[in-house]
Amino acid sequence: MPPANHALLVIDVQNDFCPGGALAVEDGDAIVPGINALMQDHAAVILTQDWHPAGHSSFASQHPGKKPLDLIEAPYGPQVLWPDHCVQGSDGAAFHPDLVTDRADLIIRKGFRKAIDSYSAFFENDHATPTGLHGYLQTRGIDTLTLVGLATDFCVNYSAVDAANLGYSVTVRQDLCRAIDFDGSLVAARDGMREAGVSLA
């Protein structure tokens, strides 16, 4: 029996982040079989799903003269602008068809507030507005997390650092993650995760 206090957190394994998607991460679909296999080793499985309304403020299309990967200053701090992606109800927002979703105890949707982006499974990008995941894990007595998914340098990174700062024991399985990696973002993310006390496996 897997220990009841250990959860697998599967970050944003959605069509738009896989090859052919609007914000494709190279080899993003290659991690799916390994994630499915790992689910059997955990008492709790939680999936996150990027879930943006059309016209979300993080979309470059909403900022005249801007293009994807440009940086703007949002009310809550620096914000990378993205191609339109993971729009609510779209095929791009759906989980990868090979991902085993039946094992999920909980699906956390994030990024649904139009005026603020959300990378972390725990907080919006203001680092203050909670998603509710922390409360759920606490009530279930879960204090240990393994993270997998997309992308290493953004949503996995933010989720892992927030989890460590909240007191969880956190491991990121790098073999079951893939990165966007622009302008050294992957190296910076790995350094930041290690500084926060995250184990990189």
Write down the residue that tokens 């016209």 correspond to.
55
Q: Known catalytic residue: 16?
A: no
Measured CA to CA, the distance from residue 10 to residue 46 in angstroms comes to 6
- Choose, from 29, 155, 162, 177, the residue flagged as catalytic: 155
List the catalytic residue out of 110, 117, 153, 162.
110
Checking phi first, is residue 197 left (phi over 0); if not, alpha (psi -120 to 50) or beta? left
Please enumerate in sequence order all residues whose Cβ is within 8 A of that of 42, keeping only pairs 6 or more positions apart, or say none: 2, 6, 7, 8, 146
155 among known catalytic residues:
yes
Which of 12, 50, 117, 153 is catalytic? The answer is: 12
Task: For residue 7, give the nearest of 146, 157, 133 by alpha carbon.
Answer: 146
Compute the distance between CA of residue 91 and CA of residue 93 in angstroms, rounded to an integer.
5
**Distance between CA atoms of 28 and 85, rounded to whole angstroms?**
15
> In Å, what is the CA distance from 125 to each residue of 27, 119, 175, 201?
26, 7, 26, 26
One DSSP character per residue, 32-66 reads: HHHHHHHHTT-SEEEEEEE-BPTT-TTBGGGSTT-
* Residues tagged active-site: 12, 110, 155
